[in-house]
Structure 1
Amino acid sequence: MTLESNEIEPRSQSRSVRKRAVILGSVLALLICAVTPYNNVYLQGTPLGGGHFPLAPFCAFLILTLVAYALAKLIGREILTGMELLVSWILMALVSGIAYTGLVRTFFINMTAPYHFATAGNRWAETLHPLLPKSWYPQNPDAVQLLYNGLDGGRDMGWMELIKNIPWSAWTTPLITWSVFILLSYFVMLCMVNIFARQWVDNERMNLPLLQVPLAMEEAVQNKNLGGFFGNPYLLAGLCIPVFLHILNGLHFYYPSVPDIPTLILAGPYFPKYGLFSAFHKLKIHLFPAYIGFAFLASRQISFSFWFFFILGGLFIGALSLFGLNIPAAALGVTFGPNITRPEETQMLGAYGIFFLFILWLARRHLADVVREAFGRKPVEWSGAQWFSTRHAFWGFVIGYAALILWNWYFGMPLIVSFLVIGAFFMIMLVASRIICQGGVAYFSLTMAPLDGMMSFFGPQFFSKMGVLIAGVSQKVLFLDLRESLMPSLFHASKISKRAGRPNMFLLGMTVTIILAVAVSFISMLALCYKFGIRELQLDWATRTTLAALQNVQTLVESPPDPGHWVHFFSILGAVVMLILVVCYHRFYWWPIHPIGYLTAYSSAMKVLWFSFFVGWLANSLCMRYGGVKLFNRLRLFFMGLIIGDFVMGGIWAIVGLFGDSSYMVLYN
Structure 2
Amino acid sequence: MALCANSTSLFLMYFLMAAIVSPHYFASPENKWDEVLIPYLPRWLIVSDDRHAVRWFYHGLPAGARLPWNDWFGPLAGWWPFLAAMLVVSFTLAALFRQQWVTNEKLSYPLMRLPLELVGRAGGPPTRPFSQRVFWIGAAIPVFFASLDVVHQFWPVVPRVVVDHLGCLQFGGFQVHPLWPHIMVCVNPLALGGAYFVPQDVLLSVWLLYGLAKMEEGVTTVLRLNPGSGGMFVWGNAGIAWQSFGAFLVLVSTILYNARHALASTWQRAIERNEQESESEPMGAAWRIGFFVGGFVFMAWWLVATGVPVGAAVVFLSLVCIIFLGLARIVCQSGIFYVVPPMIAQNPVFLLLGRSLGRRGTVALGLTYAWHGDVQTQLAVLAAESMKVAERAPIPGRQLATAIASVVALGLFTAPLGVIWLGYRTGAITFHTWLFRAWGPETYRQVLSFYEQAQPFGWMRAAYLAAGCLGMLALTAAHRSFAWWPIHPVGLAAVSSFTMYAVYGAYLIAWAAKGAMMRWGGFRVVQKAAPFFVGLAVGHYLGRIIMLTGYTYLGRPMA
TM-score after normalising by structure 2 = 0.92
Q: 1:267 aligns with which of 173, 182, 186?
A: 173
Aligned pair partner of 2:191 in 270, 287, 291: 291
Which of residues 484, 487, 493 in structure 1 aligns to 2:386? 493
Tell me the equivalent position of 1:205. 106
Give the C-alpha shift of residue 394 in structure 1: 0.7
Q: Distance in 1 between matches of 2:209 and 2:439?
A: 27
Map 1:507-656 to 2 at 5 A: 507-540=401-434, 543-656=437-550
- How far is 1:103 from its partner? 1.4
- Structure 2: distance between partners of 1:375 and 1:529: 50
* Aligned residue in 2 for 1:243: 143
Q: Secondary structure at the match of 1:116?
A: helix
- Counterpart code for 2:178: K
Distance 2:349 2:315 in 1: 8
Asked whether the equivalents of residues 113 and 122 of structure 2 are also in contact (C-alpha less than 8 Å), the reply is no
Change (3 A) 1:390 1:612: same
Cα offset for 1:136?
0.7
Change (3 A) 1:223 1:348: closer
1:219 is aligned, of 90, 99, 120, to 120
With over 3 angstroms needed to count, the CA separation of the structure-2 counterparts of 1:451 and 1:219, relative to structure 1, is: same
Report the counterpart of residue 375 of structure 1 in structure 2. Answer: 271
Q: CA deviation at 1:236?
A: 2.0
Counting only pairs closer than 5 Å after superposition, residues 51-200 of structure 1 correspond to structure 2 as 91-100=1-10, 102-141=11-50, 142-153=52-63, 165-200=66-101
Q: 1:625 to 1:381 in 2, by over 3 A?
A: farther
1:388 aligns with 2:283: yes
Deviation sequence 1:364-407 (CA, Å, 0-9, x none): 1111112222222x845523432111221011111111111111
Secondary structure of 1:553's aligned partner: helix
CA contact (8 A) 1:337 1:447 kept: no
Decide whether aligned partners of structure 1 residues 205 and 569 sit closer, same or farther in structure 2, where only a CA change above 3 A counts: same
Alignment check: 8 A CA contact 1:209 1:437 kept: yes
Residue identity in the other structure for 2:333: Q
Deviation at 1:173, TM superposition (A): 1.1
Return the alpha-carbon distance in structure 2 between the equivalents of residues 106 and 487 of structure 1: 19
Tell me the alpha carbon deviations over residues 291-329 of structure 1, each in whole angstroms, 9 at most, x when there is no partner: 11111221111121111111101111233345xx2134x
Cα 1:573/1:545, change in 2 over 3 Å? farther
> Could you say what secondary structure the match of 2:48 adopts?
coil
Q: Distance in 2 between matches of 1:587 and 1:140?
A: 62
Structure 2, gaps ≥5 residues long: 163-168
2:437 is the counterpart of 1:437 = no
Counterpart of 1:49 in structure 2 is none
| RMSD of aligned residue pairs (Cα, Å) | 2.5
Per the TM alignment, residue 408 of structure 1 is displaced from its structure 2 partner at its CA by: 0.9
Closer, same or farther in 2 for the Cα pair 1:295/1:462, shift >3 Å?
A: farther
3-state SS, counterpart of residue 171 of structure 2: strand
Specify the code of the residue in structure 1 equivalent to 2:337.
Answer: A
- 1:637 Cα deviation (Å)? 0.9
CA distance in 2, matches of 1:223, 1:571: 43
How far off is 1:251 after superposition?
1.1
User: What residue identity is the alignment partner of 2:47?
Assistant: P
Shift of 1:221: 12
Instruction: Report the residue type matching 2:2 in the other structure.
Output: M
Moved more, 651-660 or 567-576: 651-660
Give, in angstroms, the shift of residue 333 of structure 1: 5.0
Moved more, 544-553 or 390-399: 544-553
Gap change, CA 1:467 and 1:374, over 3 Å in 2:
farther
Alignment-derived partner of residue 362 in structure 2: 468
Q: What letter matches 2:26 in structure 1? A: F
* 1:327 to 1:433, Cα distance in 2 relative to 1, 3 A: same
Match of 2:166 in 1: none
Bigger mean CA deviation after superposition, 617-626 or 655-664: 655-664
For residue 590 of structure 1, report the CA deviation from its aligned partner.
2.0
Instruction: State whether residues 309 and 598 of structure 1, in contact with CA within 8 Å, keep that contact through their aligned partners in structure 2.
Output: yes
Q: CA deviation at 1:287?
A: 2.3
- Whether contact under 8 Å (1:340, 1:447) holds in the other structure is no
Helix, strand or coil for the counterpart of 1:463? helix
Residues 57-89 of structure 1, C-alpha deviations (whole Å, 9 max, x = no match): xxxxxxxxxxxxxxxxxxxxxxxxxxxxxxxxx
CA contact (8 A) 1:286 1:608 kept: yes
State the partner residue of 1:346: 242
Tell me if structure 2 keeps the 8 A contact 1:334–1:552. no
Shift of 1:346: 1.6
Distance 1:148 1:396, change over 3 A: same
Amino acid at match of 2:336: V
Q: Percent identity?
A: 21
Distance 1:599 1:462, change over 3 A: farther
The number of aligned residues is 551
Alignment-derived partner of residue 220 in structure 2: 320
Give the CA deviation at 1:237: 2.0
Structure 1: where are the runs of 5+ without partners? 1-90, 155-161
Aligned-partner residue type, residue 272 of structure 1: H
**Separation in 2, partners of 1:371, 1:224:** 38
2:185 is paired with a residue whose SS is: strand
1:575 Cα shift? 1.4
User: Within 5 A, what are the aligned runs for 1:400-415?
Assistant: 400-415=295-310
CA distance in 2 between partners of 1:453 and 1:627 (Å) = 50
* Contact 2:3–2:386 (8 Å) recurs in 1: no
Q: 1:487 to 1:235 in 2, by over 3 A?
A: same
Compared with structure 1, are the counterparts of its residues 383 and 479 closer, same or farther at alpha carbon in structure 2 (3 Å cutoff)? farther
Amino acid at match of 1:436: V
Structure 1 residue 166: Cα displacement: 2.5
For residue 211 of structure 2, what is the amino acid of its counterpart?
I
**Contact 2:281 2:396 (8 Å CA) reproduced:** no
**Range with greater deviation from structure 2 (343-352 or 548-557):** 343-352
1:552 shift after superposition:
2.1
TM-aligned CA distance change 1:365 to 1:412, over 3 Å? same
Please say if 1:418 is aligned against 2:313. yes
Specify whether residues 375 and 221 from structure 1 end up closer, same or farther in structure 2 by C-alpha distance, changes over 3 A only.
closer
**Residues 192-228 of structure 1: per-residue CA shift (max 9 Å, x gap):** 11111111111111111111121122227999989x5
Asked whether 1:337 is paired with 2:337, we answer no
How far did 1:597 drift? Answer: 0.6
Which stretch shows the higher mean deviation, 254-263 or 387-396?
254-263
SS of alignment partner, residue 529 of structure 1: helix
AA aligned to 1:619 is: A
Q: Is the 8 A contact 1:295 1:440 kept in 2?
A: yes
Instruction: Determine if contact 2:94/2:383 at 8 Å carries over to the other structure.
Output: yes
